[in-house]
């Protein structure tokens, strides 16, 4: 696919470099001639895929990261911004504390703009695909399915970030975008359109693709299930959950069943393999952003979205952003039965190596979080230490282990960009599908059917190879007192709907921590204000004083403001979200 992307660049260069301007054809005319060819259309499709990693395509992607670490975890109770202090990218500090998030925030305008650039790439490819026959482009239907999927993904990201968005298809010319209101459709109507687009895409797509990373039929089905799940939690104009639509929840179950039965997916046998490039595009990966190293380009196509997020320590020498919160670390405590401590986990802090033995903990803790004195992946020089943290007085000492390959890995870039690697970023993995189905079953009062799905995810964690103590003397000399087990109704728990709902929501927190999903989960469940204000900020500010004024405002902070620059661009046509002046 990289060669098709290079072909597009060559075509565009060629149109601009005719030696004799007076003898050259108009640039637009020549571009059309080139881009309407099968190779040109293929290049446009690859360009739409490239936008998954950020349409700007360079190290500035970290200012509007496509991995959602700042939007989905730092705005939740699972992560701190990190970095060199609250003034280091102060806009992110505003996002984390929900203070000073204004419509004039330049990074919000950047995110909006880049997502609509990505939509236009998909639209441009679809326009040209619509104009050719299968005889001219034998893969026309497959490529149309891929572009519809990508367009749906970009619109879904826009919707769950900004809610009120202009929605349109390839039949609208780019110069007419400014004429489309962002208030034409409700959240429900936009999600319905996105789900329909994904269903249409699935009808066009093959079950398998010859190239890893291309969209497949069941990737589209899985994404359809996700969007339908979001839609099932109905919201009013004040962003509050009003009801759960049973018909839509049944649709989620039906689509997940198709994916589970026919997609050929499964869980990797070891949780740690999710952070190993050797297992990219493995059986758990439903759809992922493809990254590479040593592919002939200057730095490879590495994950610039996570550029800031490697720790400062000697293994990476990074910028130290995106640090796990104390709340997240405490969440991994387990009881005598190996189950989460839903109601008491945050009454004391699990901070030292000894704390990990005094308490029993879920083994995913040390796959996800770097803790002082604990082995760091396969790094042999030292365990994770105090000097690995860049600004511990503000943000503490934890570091994220996810999305960083081990320092000795051949897939890691040595030096700049710090911690850069060929590790893919997974947008949907099979564990998601299992937990979506479980969630829908529980909301329908069919929690007895959900327990095995949650247990399947927990069993993988239980059977993974645990992190060993730094000076381990045997294969079972572990770094903590790891204890995790399945839910066994009537034996170690009372599996009511309320208990099952707690189990499902906690399982998503533990399994998907630092994957950019938590804040969006809280909003769709309608519990963001409760979790953030009552359970998180009230206690966390005792440790992290920079959070003393943090407060989530119900009815406002579920979504970002519409960027003022975009309102100006529309001539005042766009309407602002509730709560923002």
- The answer to whether the bond into 417 is cis (omega within 30° of 0) is yes
23: helix, strand or coil: helix
Burial label, 471 (beta-carbon count in 10 A; 0-12, 13-18, 19+): exposed
Q: Could you give the CA distance from residue 400 to residue 308 in angstroms, rounded to a whole number?
A: 11
Does a structural domain hold residue 68? no
User: Which ranges in 131-233 belong to alpha helices (H)?
Assistant: 140-162, 187-204, 217-232
The average pLDDT across 530-559 equals 97
C-alpha pair distances (Å), 520 with each of 163, 286, 384, 470: 12, 20, 31, 37
pLDDT digits (tens, 9 = 90+) for 224-247: 999 999 999 999 999 999 999 999
> Tokens in use for 545?
């004083």
Q: What is the pLDDT of residue 35?
A: 77
Residue 421 is assigned to a structural domain of this protein? yes
Compute the average pLDDT of residues 304-310. 95
**CB-neighbour burial class of residue 535 (10 A; exposed 0-12, middle 13-18, buried 19+):** middle
CA of residue 548 relative to chain centroid, distance: 28
**The pLDDT value given to residue 31:** 61
Alpha-carbon span 209 to 506, nearest angstrom: 35
Tokens of 133: 């026959």
**Is residue 116 in some structural domain?**
no
**Neighbouring-strand partners of residue 265:** none
Whether 441 is covered by a domain: the verdict is yes
**pLDDT, position 536:** 98
Q: What is the pLDDT of residues 159-192, one digit of tens each?
A: 999 999 999 999 999 889 889 999 999 999 999 9
The half-sphere exposure of 60 on its side-chain side, counting CA atoms within 13 A, is: 7
Read off the pLDDT of each residue in 342-364 and give the average, rounded to a whole number.
Answer: 97
Which residues have CB under 8 Å from 60's CB, separation 6+? Answer: 304
Environment class of residue 523 by beta-carbon count within 10 Å: exposed (0-12), middle (13-18) or buried (19+)?
Answer: buried
Three-class SS of 297-329: CCCCCCCHHHCCCCCCCCCCCCCCEEEECHHHH
Residue 362 DSSP class: -
Residue 345's contacts (CB-CB under 8 Å, 6 or more residues apart) are 330, 331, 333
The domain spanning residue 397 has which CATH number? 1.25.40.390
Could you read off the pLDDT of 454-508 as tens digits, one per residue? 999 999 999 999 999 999 999 999 999 999 999 999 999 999 999 999 999 999 9
Answer yes or no: is 335 within a domain: yes
**pLDDT above 60 for 29:** no
Handedness of CA 468, 303, 320, 318 (dihedral sign): positive
pTM summary value: 0.94
- In the block, which residue shows the tokens 């008491």? 344
Q: With b meaning 16 or more CB within 10 Å and e meaning fewer, what string describes 21-36? A: eeeeeeeeebbeebbe
Instruction: Provide the 10 A C-beta neighbour count for residue 246.
Output: 13
**Helix residue ranges, H only, 383-444:** 392-395, 430-443
Backbone angles phi, psi at 426, to 5 degrees: -85, 120
Q: How big is the CA angle at 524 (ends 523 and 527), to the nearest 5 degrees?
A: 50
How far apart, in whole angstroms, are the C-alpha atoms of residue 542 and residue 538? 8
Residue 496 lies in a domain: yes
Give mean pLDDT, residues 124-150.
Answer: 96
Average pLDDT over residues 287-302: 86
pLDDT at position 56:
85
pLDDT of residue 7 exceeding 70, the answer is: no
d(CA 91, CA 100): 8
Number of domains making up the chain: 1
What is the spatial distance between Cα 288 and Cα 274, in angstroms, rounded to a whole number? Answer: 12
Q: How confident is the model at residue 80 (pLDDT cuts 50, 70, 90)?
A: very high
Q: What is the pLDDT of residue 22?
A: 29
Contact 538, 548 (CB under 8 A): no
Which residues, at least 6 apart from 179, have a Cβ–Cβ distance to it below 8 Å? 573
pLDDT tier, 294 (very low <50, low <70, confident <90, very high otherwise): confident
Question: Residue 57: what pLDDT?
Answer: 78
| Backbone region of residue 377 per phi and psi (left: phi > 0; alpha: psi in -120 to 50; beta: other values) | left
Q: Is residue 288 part of a domain?
A: no
Assess whether pLDDT exceeds 90 at residue 18.
no
Kindly state the tokens that stand for 125: 């490819």
**pLDDT value, residue 345:** 98
Structure tokens at 375: 């082995």
Alpha-carbon dihedral 116, 122, 127, 133, rounded to 10 degrees: 180
Q: Taking the alpha carbons of 337, 352, 396, 374 in that order, is the dihedral positive or negative?
A: negative
Residue from 399, 407, 402 nearest 381 by CA: 407
C-alpha span between 397 and 389 (Å, rounded): 5
Is the residue at 408 inside a domain? yes
491 Cβ contact partners less than 8 Å away, ≥ 6 residues apart: none
Res. 19 pLDDT band, cuts 50 70 90: very low
- Residue 392, pLDDT > 60, answer yes
Q: How far is CA 170 from CA 131, 151, 176, 537, in A?
A: 12, 10, 11, 44
Of residues 94 and 35, more confidence is placed in: 94
Q: What is the average per-residue pLDDT within 310-317?
A: 94
pLDDT of 14 above 60: no
Domain that holds residue 443: 304-516
What is the Cα–Cα distance from 55 to 116, expressed in whole angstroms? Answer: 10
CA 185 to chain centre: 25
pLDDT, the chain, mean: 93
* Whole-angstrom distance, CA of residue 218 vs CA of residue 412: 31
Q: Are 139 and 85 in contact (CB under 8 A)?
A: no
């Amino acid at each position: 696919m990289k060669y098709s992307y290079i072909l597009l660049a060559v075509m565009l260069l060629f149109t601009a470099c005719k030696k004799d301007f007076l003898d050259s054809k108009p640039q637009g005319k020549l571009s059309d001639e080139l881009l309407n060819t099968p190779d040109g259309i293929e290049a446009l499709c690859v360009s739409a895929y490239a936008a998954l990693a950020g349409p700007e395509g360079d190290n500035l992607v970290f200012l509007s990261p496509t991995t959602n670490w700042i939007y989905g975890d730092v705005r939740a109770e699972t992560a701190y911004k990190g970095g060199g202090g609250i003034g280091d990218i102060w806009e992110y500090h505003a996002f984390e504390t929900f203070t000073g998030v204004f419509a004039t925030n330049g990074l919000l305008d950047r995110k909006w703009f880049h997502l609509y650039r990505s939509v236009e790439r998909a639209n441009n490819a679809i326009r040209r695909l619509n104009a050719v026959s299968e005889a001219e482009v034998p893969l026309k239907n497959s490529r149309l399915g891929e572009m519809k999927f990508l367009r749906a993904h970009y619109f879904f990201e826009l919707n769950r970030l900004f809610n009120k968005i202009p929605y349109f298809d390839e039949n609208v010319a780019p110069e007419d975008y400014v004429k489309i209101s962002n208030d034409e459709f409700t959240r429900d109507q936009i999600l319905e359109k996105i789900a329909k687009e994904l269903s249409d895409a699935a009808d066009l797509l093959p079950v398998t693709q010859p190239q890893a990373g291309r969209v497949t039929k069941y990737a589209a089905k899985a994404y359809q299930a996700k969007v339908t799940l979001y839609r099932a939690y109905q919201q009013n104009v004040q962003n509050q959950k009003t009801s759960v639509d049973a018909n839509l929840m049944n649709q989620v179950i039906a689509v997940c069943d198709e994916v589970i039965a026919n997609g050929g997916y499964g869980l990797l046998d070891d949780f740690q393999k999710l952070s190993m490039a050797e297992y990219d595009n493995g059986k758990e990966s439903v759809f992922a952003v493809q990254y590479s190293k040593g592919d002939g380009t200057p730095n490879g196509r590495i994950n610039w979205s996570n550029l800031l997020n490697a720790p400062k320590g000697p293994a990476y020498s990074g910028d130290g952003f995106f640090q796990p919160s104390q709340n997240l670390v405490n969440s991994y405590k387990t009881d005598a039965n190996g189950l989460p401590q839903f109601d008491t986990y945050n009454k004391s802090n699990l901070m030292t190596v000894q704390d990990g033995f005094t308490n029993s903990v879920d083994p995913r803790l040390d796959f996800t979080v770097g803790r002082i004195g604990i082995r760091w992946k396969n790094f042999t020089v030292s365990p994770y230490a105090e000097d690995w943290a860049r600004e511990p007085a503000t943000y503490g000492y934890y570091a994220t282990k996810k999305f960083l390959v081990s320092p000795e890995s051949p897939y890691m870039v040595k030096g700049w960009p710090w911690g850069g690697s060929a590790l893919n970023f997974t947008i949907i993995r099979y564990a998601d599908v299992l937990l979506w189905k479980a969630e829908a079953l529980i909301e329908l009062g069919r929690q007895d059917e959900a327990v095995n799905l949650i247990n399947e995810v927990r069993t993988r964690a239980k059977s993974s190879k645990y992190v060993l103590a730094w000076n381990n003397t045997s294969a079972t000399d572990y770094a903590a007192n790891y204890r995790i087990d399945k839910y066994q109704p009537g034996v170690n728990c009372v599996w009511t709907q309320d208990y099952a709902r707690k189990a499902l929501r906690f399982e998503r927190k533990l399994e998907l921590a630092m994957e950019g999903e938590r804040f969006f989960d809280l909003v769709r469940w309608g519990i963001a204000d409760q979790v953030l204000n009552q359970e998180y900020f009230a206690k966390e500010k005792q440790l992290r004083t920079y959070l003393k004024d943090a407060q989530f405002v119900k009815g406002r902070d579920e979504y970002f403001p519409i960027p003022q620059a975009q309102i100006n661009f529309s001539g005042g046509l766009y309407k602002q979200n509730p709560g923002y002046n």
